[in-house]
Homo-oligomer: A and B are copies of this chain.
Amino acid sequence: MEIIKTLEGMKIAQRRRAGQRVGLVPTMGYLHDGHLSLVEKSLSTCDITVVSIFVNPKQFRPNEDLDTYPVDLKRDIKLLEDLGVAILFLPKNADMYPEGYQTYVQVEKITERLCGKSRPGFFRGVATVVLKLFNTVQPDVAFFGEKDRQQLAVIQKMVQDLNLDIQIEGLPIVRDPDGLASSSRNLYLSPQARQSALCLQEALQLAQRRVAAGETSAHKIRSAMQDVIEAHPDTRVDYISVCDPLQFNELEVIQGKTLIALAVHVGQTRLIDNCLIERI
């Protein structure tokens, strides 16, 4: 595996590709099974797979966990090498955001809801870094997980609006054996907190059962999910959303394709999860 640490090095590597299909998996490292499913998909469908690891400061607010975000580069390198990844791109913060950096990409409207509402500036940081990675790596296809479904939608919208020639592929949520959606932030959870964290998955399952049984009131679904979460110690709801999966507008009546998404603070750790349902 080639490890490239400069933007210039990545551009030179890109020029060597000669018609080969390049897949990019952008990550913030501390890789889990969700990331690895993206890498495997890229390996099986592209000629060259590039994985980037960059903890992007522009998508953290001052009070968030930038300084404690988990890092284990040695382990990440071993995992990627074992899978057969061609290139690991490890840009430095000083190269990505040199002094005087001042350009940002803003996707409007869909970023005002759910995680965008709770974390102002988050999607601006995400869109900006992803565009920079796209311009540097110049992939044919890039892979993102559906756990961050709003992020996936924002990136798809950006690619479409800015006329980028890149295919965006979203892959299903990967779960740990206990059902918790795989996330680098799961590391933060104590054994007790991990028990409480199962409330996200439980709330989604309850919602799915209720809708399957005929419930059409989005309000009642949200309320039932809230009850599930509150029954677990040390939890605090950030949002519970029952919305359309394209614009992320909250629904009153559940009909057609519907996204159920939530963010919950478990102790100090903010976790997200979601599922897509279809009521015909």
Contacts and interface: CB of A to CB of B under 8 A. Distances in A.
14 contacts: A7-B163, A101-B161, A102-B107, A102-B161, A103-B105, A103-B107, A103-B108, A103-B157, A103-B158, A103-B162, A104-B108, A132-B163, A135-B162, A135-B163
Given A102-B157, A103-B108, 6 more contacts: A11-B165, A104-B105, A106-B106, A132-B161, A135-B162, A135-B165
Contacts of A107: 102-103
A125 to B, nearest CB: 13
Main secondary structure, interface of A, reads mixed
Query: How many of these chains are in the complex?
Result: 2
A37 interface: no
A110 interface: yes
A106 B104 contact: yes
A164 interface: yes
B108 A106 contact: no
A220 interface: no
Contacts of A104: 105-106, 108
B103 A103 contact: no
Contacts of A249: none
A131 B158 CA distance: 12
A209 interface: no
B106 A103 contact: yes
A269 interface: no
A136 B161 contact: no
Interface string A91-127: 0000000000111111111100000000000000001
Interface in A151-175: 157-158, 161-165
A35 B165 CA distance: 28
Contacts of A109: 102
Contacts of A127: 103
